Amino acid sequence: MKEKLGEYQIFGSKDSIDYDVMVFVDHIGNKQESHERVANFDKILSELYPDKPLNCNLAIVKYGIVTEVFKGTADEVNNMLCLTYDLHEQKHKLKITRLIGRDIDLKKLRTARVLLSFLSRTKHRPEIKKALKSDFIEKLKVLSDLDLSKIRDLGSRNVKWEDYLKVMSFQLGQTLALMDGIELYSKKEIGDKYPELKSMLSREGENLGALEVMKLMFVAHCSEELSDMETLIEEEKTPKLDELDIIKEKRNNNIVLTDEENYILHKHLYNVDIEYRYNYDTMINKYIKKQ
């Protein structure tokens, strides 16, 4: 018996050529099981959204944040769902209640792997294959030696050229921005920050020189920060649950709170009220002074 579709959310760029859909589930099994579930949800959702291809994913949400995801990382998916919710017409309410801190080191590690993977069938396959099995330092070394402005043949990899340019541009732009403390989750946002990538993000042209410059910037920034990284091996951490979120969730589910939990909740609500009144009074005073 096929699994029924529950709550889901469309996310990502507003002008995407497909629908990126996150289906919320109670558990995520092994890789094969997850692929089968995704295929099932793709089929169900294609009847609801027949105008564009579908790209489904699976996520578990606990206490208002993503704690586990099939494809991607929980921290990135959590914030992307939250920040791109309003870009699409939705069938369900937003399940994410707050943004969470990003694991920037993990993003750097994943980006290096993604960039190399797209080039793994080119004439550089031997050194890339070795780097993919090695640590971050070796990946950076191989990336540094590659010249993206001169690569025009992806070999036997079954990827359209314009899709390759789009993914490389998106990953490099998103990661460089994150290293500067800026979270970007749509092609428009990345294109506005890095105009030289716009044509490739929209699959309308190419600027291989710009792609090479962005890659060099990525390698340089990562190399400078190597000594500050906790690990050089890709390893995802489970997002930390906030005590207040857990208490709120219990209250929403009509679970009786302990005296201590009630104290924490009321203290938070009181502080929020004080902060709101302070900001409101400050705003009014500034307005009066302008008159």
* Euclidean distance between CA atoms 75 and 211, whole angstroms: 26
Q: Kindly state the average pLDDT of the residues 174-196.
A: 96
237 has pLDDT over 90? no
pLDDT (0 to 100) of residue 269 = 61
pLDDT (0 to 100) of residue 219 = 97
Residues in the chain: 291
How distant is the alpha carbon of residue 197 from its chain centre?
19
Q: Name the pTM for this structure.
A: 0.80
Which positions ≥6 away from 12 have C-beta within 8 Å? 20, 80, 84, 87, 185, 186
| Residue 121 amino acid letter | R
> DSSP character for 68?
E
The model's pLDDT over 36-69, given as tens digits with 9 standing for 90+, comes to 999 999 999 999 999 999 999 999 999 899 999 9
pLDDT (0 to 100) of residue 274 = 43
86 has pLDDT over 70? yes
* Euclidean distance between CA atoms 85 and 162, whole angstroms: 26
pLDDT (0 to 100) of residue 115 = 97
The model's pLDDT over 103-158, given as tens digits with 9 standing for 90+, comes to 999 999 999 999 999 999 999 999 999 999 999 999 999 999 999 999 999 988 88
